[in-house]
Structure 1
């Protein structure tokens, strides 16, 4: 401990999140929802400017929905869906054989049927605000982003990293709220912009060396704090301070392609201004049009000529000779001039400029996402790329959506420390696929187009290839096709060989790829006939789900007898539900068992089924939401058939294990051996809770808020 640290206040927290962008906020949402102590700090004194990231992909919206239930709501989903601009059609424009700019094709902006949500666009400031409100709701007002806090030093005690209860990481931070800290540089522009954050080396000046603090007689000790942490997450951007403290160097390259971004209201006769468009001009560059909320349109514009600082070199591949970009010369006027040249012969002027920036295209990925499974990095700290496919904010949030529930399980003593290793193994593959996709797409986007049937220009980007890459990339860009491989949390035993799309299936559920997110389908409550999406019954609250598809018990009475055998299994103290749930906690507060039979609802009665499908709690209240039918003709939604959707036989049935993040972890048969296999699966990473005795629940207490409060192990 340094001299300054011995003189200032100390505090403890399970998880410290450094960086309150979307990736950090997603992690905070998980921890708030699961009741894990955490803090989240950010060096910005202000909320985000308009602009920055603006696209929400299908999977991200599914995740937002997964934090919303019938009695609580993640503010982002409903608000975003109502306020955002919905992307329906993508138009491609390129030169014809005469060099005239023409529309070459149209495609759906999102792949039809890939999700119940399509891509939408709305600026990042709204999204961060909704996260803030959700975190406040889930934490009962106890947690919020602390601004402006600057991390000064980070130390890992290697002697403690294997002790799951130890505060093995120490972070010295400074409260900047009493300092006269100016807003980030705006480069003499009166329009909000992101230029200050787009180029390497800019953010180092915001940090202070601890030696400088100790030698400064004017240091105010009250401004400093040592936060002792079990875990630290660095969600602090492309020039991540946390990553630098870990000594991790990103790998990749930059190009000499420079793009400007401009948010404004256009005045134009270009007919597709309210569609997403990719436009290649003959020799003036390219532009992507993103229509946004409130009449705004975002332009990603290739800048043909960009002023350089002759006294510098960029030090990056492909741009060494020209020197560092002079960002002070990137203005809305410069960006607009380039857009006008690209869009000729269409007229193009703008009003109501809200935001602009400039950036160089490059693709980089970190070779490591953690150190000792104690300090993690996520989002832009792990991977940087161009914004063409709308992946930056989305993939960043999915990083911590993957990590958050694992931290929660470990912090609450429910799971072994080793599950944290699966964060890097699962997400680094996604990052590499993202970089490869973006590398190809950005170069096709930035290159000069090949003119069809031209005898003058024979070289350039083949527009047909560009269309194919963009359409194929639509699946990846949606975020719905991520595959997680074999690990302690994904059991691919008894599945088919991986197909050309990377999927593995079980013979008993032939339409459910193991290792992918559970695609939704409709099911109907046995108790009241309400029809819901199955994923709305498997929300993000930290719990595993065991979905028992018991088949058609009316046509096959023997299936009901199997359920009776299951009841005996679940009454045993040795089964996975009781074994891994704290004593006196709700029986489904770690592993939630849900039965979905295959009979029509009116052919069976609620009390035909054994007690584990309709249990009672400590107040003798019956839980009606454990039993559903997957097959029926409903009053308002027509015919539903979850068995057909998932490829499950109505005689044989199946059992599906779903992780807390909605990914299918295991598929097995509908029999006692299947339950035993699931018990073996949980035994690999969950910790028995037989000695973890909670205070008995008070029958006289008022617990009507139990649906909003954390549900994990309570």
Structure 2
């Protein structure tokens, strides 16, 4: 953790000093905000947390409930999400708190006694080492709590405005609006307290609708959901119970002659969730099945579990739903078919623009990546770091991801509801689970070429960092203190870009006057050339690494050189005391060489990673002009 650069800190170093709008932040929702987030679900809270790192952006988040969420419906936390939590500083806490999925048991009818179920397989959850992070089960409310804590402790000091709901909005033409920077008129209504029922109008620069499947923000911009309803009902319950079922603390896919169960143990050692198959539902019986009581769900679960049973002692939460797969035609209010249309002012995220079943455990996870994707872009645009064209990339990127999720979920949820005898073979569901593991883990997202994603040119220099996919971490040795760390874990959700310089085989040198060392020549260009992004886009008073954080990784071991041998640009002066920062110079580990692990050329490479941890491009060490041109397309002068 980086602190003391502004002076000695004796209190909790996670609590950053308030800046900008975080200083004397008004308790009352103001009449004018730069970004208004509607809804404190996963997409909304991660967006607020990220924007809290942009204290010069006035951000507020409203929620119609009178207080925090207490019982969350989502619980599955994929490895990609835990990776994201690491950037927000609470992965370790949530890993300690959560239930760890290490394997999944598959139960099917006993061939000798089909009325009974037997275990037929128990594959590992991550047999191929997709991620160094675990697959967890954690109550959604706790995830939101952690994001709320991060937002409150960040410079922007963002806290939710509870008891306020969104009513409607109107987007004015910025060219003729009374306030061109805040052209969105938003009507909100108080839902609790002395002002309950009172409406008021505020002005916003941008609105982010994270208000669920019945999103009023979506309706206000004329977007509609398209898709299908599977007409297959499931009862879901979180319960505390005793049982003789031997895998009650293991995630299970249970298929019997009487239906199916997706069983998920919960955190804490006792709680578990069951998705219980209630069967096909005629189109005219939808309302009736939703009235199914929890006692009927429990009875059905016991029938499916034969010869085992559960004795439910407490029902914490239950519901009935039908599988639906729906998607909006766009995730913002602009016309994607017209490149000359105004850039977006209103966005939708999470369930407001894509809905699916809970079987793949993707709802909260994909929603969080929606919010993460959008928030740093809003931060860059509102602060003038980028033009508003950057905002067009949100819908273009995230709609493809949501469509891929829905296609996957359709297949998985259909298989979950299919009797074993109708599958190609009795192990088909288990085989599908294993071969598609990378998708539900959250690592199949791949963004295509755009203003923030370069072409695949240079990919051969770092094959383990595919352009458009998330930056997959690997271990390195920090030179200044000989401390092994995961390279990707050092990147924080602070809105900055990352440039990782993987050196060629030459020994480190801080002599940038010679042209023999490609790293030294690159360092000289980065530090002094007018076309370098560190020079061209650096504002007066900014630290050298305020916009882009540089790291260098040498092929030598840490005993073969000192940090002082690295060029000065990799040892920037930071903070008001202008202290030299030494922790971004790395060496390889003798038994875990990152160059081998990630297919990095021994000729070296430059890997550019955007603030939400996705690889934007791979460049040669001497491709200074191409690197400068890429960043010229990202940032505004």
Query: Given the two structures, how large is their TM-score scaled by the length of structure 2?
Result: 0.88
Alignment partner, residue 93 of structure 2: 79
Alignment partner, residue 468 of structure 1: 431
Partner residue of 1:287 out of 239, 257, 261: 261
Quick one: structure 1 residues 551 and 18, their matched pair in 2 at CA, closer, same or farther if it must change by over 3 Å?
A: same
> Is the CA contact (8 Å cut-off) linking 2:167 and 2:216 kept in structure 1?
no
Partner residue of 1:562 out of 495, 515, 518: 518
- Secondary structure of the corresponding residue to residue 464 of structure 2: strand
CA offsets, 1:10-47, max 9 Å, x none? 71111100010111001001100232320000111243
Q: 1:338 Cα shift?
A: 0.6
Q: Does 1:531 align with 2:484?
A: yes
CA distance, structure 2, for counterparts of residue 152 and residue 357 of structure 1: 27
Aligned residues: 592
CA distance, structure 2, for counterparts of residue 624 and residue 48 of structure 1: 42
CA offsets, 1:550-606, max 9 Å, x none? 223239998863333234322234421121121111111111222211122222222
Q: Does 1:395 align with 2:366?
A: yes
Partner residue of 1:365 out of 327, 342, 345: 327
CA distance, structure 1, for counterparts of residue 516 and residue 578 of structure 2: 24
CA distance, structure 2, for counterparts of residue 588 and residue 594 of structure 1: 10
- Secondary structure of the corresponding residue to residue 498 of structure 2: strand
CA distance, structure 1, for counterparts of residue 490 and residue 32 of structure 2: 35
Partner residue of 1:148 out of 163, 167, 170: 163
Q: Does 1:492 align with 2:455?
A: yes
> Is the CA contact (8 Å cut-off) linking 1:304 and 1:338 kept in structure 2?
no
Quick one: structure 1 residues 491 and 350, their matched pair in 2 at CA, closer, same or farther if it must change by over 3 Å?
A: same
Q: 1:352 Cα shift?
A: 2.1
CA offsets, 1:346-390, max 9 Å, x none? 122211221111101111111110013110001011111110111
> Is the CA contact (8 Å cut-off) linking 1:160 and 1:166 kept in structure 2?
no
Unaligned runs of 5+ in 2: 1-27, 335-343
Q: 1:9 Cα shift?
A: 9.8
- Secondary structure of the corresponding residue to residue 510 of structure 1: coil
Q: Does 1:110 align with 2:126?
A: yes
> Is the CA contact (8 Å cut-off) linking 2:174 and 2:180 kept in structure 1?
no
CA distance, structure 1, for counterparts of residue 531 and residue 144 of structure 2: 44
Alignment partner, residue 647 of structure 1: 599
- Secondary structure of the corresponding residue to residue 128 of structure 1: helix
Quick one: structure 1 residues 586 and 13, their matched pair in 2 at CA, closer, same or farther if it must change by over 3 Å?
A: same
Q: 1:262 Cα shift?
A: 1.1
Alignment partner, residue 55 of structure 1: 76
Quick one: structure 1 residues 597 and 149, their matched pair in 2 at CA, closer, same or farther if it must change by over 3 Å?
A: same
CA distance, structure 2, for counterparts of residue 548 and residue 236 of structure 1: 41
- Counterparts of 1:224-623 in structure 2, within 5 Å, are 224-282=199-257, 284-294=258-268, 295-304=270-279, 319-325=282-288, 327=290, 329-372=291-334, 373-450=344-421, 459=422, 462-494=425-457, 506-554=459-507, 561-569=517-525, 570-617=527-574, 619-623=577-581
> Is the CA contact (8 Å cut-off) linking 1:43 and 1:148 kept in structure 2?
yes
CA offsets, 1:422-443, max 9 Å, x none? 1111111111111111111111
Alignment partner, residue 207 of structure 1: none
Alignment partner, residue 627 of structure 2: 678
CA distance, structure 2, for counterparts of residue 110 and residue 632 of structure 1: 24
> Is the CA contact (8 Å cut-off) linking 2:88 and 2:150 kept in structure 1?
no
- Secondary structure of the corresponding residue to residue 532 of structure 1: strand
CA offsets, 1:62-116, max 9 Å, x none? 0000122xxxxx4xx2322111111111011111334131111111123441111
- Secondary structure of the corresponding residue to residue 573 of structure 2: coil
Larger gyration radius, structure 1 or structure 2: 1
CA distance, structure 2, for counterparts of residue 463 and residue 49 of structure 1: 40
Quick one: structure 1 residues 12 and 465, their matched pair in 2 at CA, closer, same or farther if it must change by over 3 Å?
A: same
CA RMSD of aligned residues (A): 2.4
Quick one: structure 1 residues 245 and 560, their matched pair in 2 at CA, closer, same or farther if it must change by over 3 Å?
A: same
Quick one: structure 1 residues 157 and 550, their matched pair in 2 at CA, closer, same or farther if it must change by over 3 Å?
A: same
CA distance, structure 1, for counterparts of residue 131 and residue 534 of structure 2: 31
> Is the CA contact (8 Å cut-off) linking 1:364 and 1:384 kept in structure 2?
yes
CA distance, structure 2, for counterparts of residue 91 and residue 622 of structure 1: 52
Structure 1: 4+ residue segments shifted above 4 A: 159-165, 459-462, 555-560
CA offsets, 1:181-222, max 9 Å, x none? 8xxxxxxxxxxxxxxxxxxxxxxxxxxxxxxxxxxxxx7xxx
Alignment partner, residue 710 of structure 1: none
CA distance, structure 2, for counterparts of residue 419 and residue 161 of structure 1: 23
CA distance, structure 2, for counterparts of residue 27 and residue 161 of structure 1: 29
Alignment partner, residue 117 of structure 2: 101
Partner residue of 1:120 out of 118, 131, 136: 136
CA distance, structure 1, for counterparts of residue 330 and residue 76 of structure 2: 27
Unaligned runs of 5+ in 1: 1-7, 69-73, 182-218, 306-317, 451-458, 496-505, 634-638, 689-714
> Is the CA contact (8 Å cut-off) linking 2:238 and 2:316 kept in structure 1?
yes
> Is the CA contact (8 Å cut-off) linking 2:64 and 2:165 kept in structure 1?
yes
> Is the CA contact (8 Å cut-off) linking 2:544 and 2:573 kept in structure 1?
no
> Is the CA contact (8 Å cut-off) linking 1:553 and 1:559 kept in structure 2?
no
Q: Does 1:89 align with 2:103?
A: yes
- Secondary structure of the corresponding residue to residue 475 of structure 1: coil
> Is the CA contact (8 Å cut-off) linking 2:522 and 2:621 kept in structure 1?
no
- Secondary structure of the corresponding residue to residue 438 of structure 2: helix
> Is the CA contact (8 Å cut-off) linking 2:168 and 2:216 kept in structure 1?
no
**Larger mean Cα displacement after TM superposition, 599-608 or 167-176:** 599-608
Q: 1:415 Cα shift?
A: 0.7
> Is the CA contact (8 Å cut-off) linking 1:437 and 1:473 kept in structure 2?
no
> Is the CA contact (8 Å cut-off) linking 1:109 and 1:276 kept in structure 2?
no
CA offsets, 1:258-313, max 9 Å, x none? 1111111222111111110011111x2110110112211111101248xxxxxxxx
Quick one: structure 1 residues 590 and 555, their matched pair in 2 at CA, closer, same or farther if it must change by over 3 Å?
A: closer
**Larger mean Cα displacement after TM superposition, 465-474 or 160-169:** 160-169
Quick one: structure 1 residues 347 and 567, their matched pair in 2 at CA, closer, same or farther if it must change by over 3 Å?
A: closer
Q: Does 1:13 align with 2:33?
A: yes
CA distance, structure 2, for counterparts of residue 541 and residue 555 of structure 1: 29
> Is the CA contact (8 Å cut-off) linking 2:184 and 2:345 kept in structure 1?
yes
Quick one: structure 1 residues 529 and 583, their matched pair in 2 at CA, closer, same or farther if it must change by over 3 Å?
A: same
Query: Given the two structures, how large is their TM-score scaled by the length of structure 1?
Result: 0.79
> Is the CA contact (8 Å cut-off) linking 2:225 and 2:327 kept in structure 1?
yes
Quick one: structure 1 residues 322 and 656, their matched pair in 2 at CA, closer, same or farther if it must change by over 3 Å?
A: same
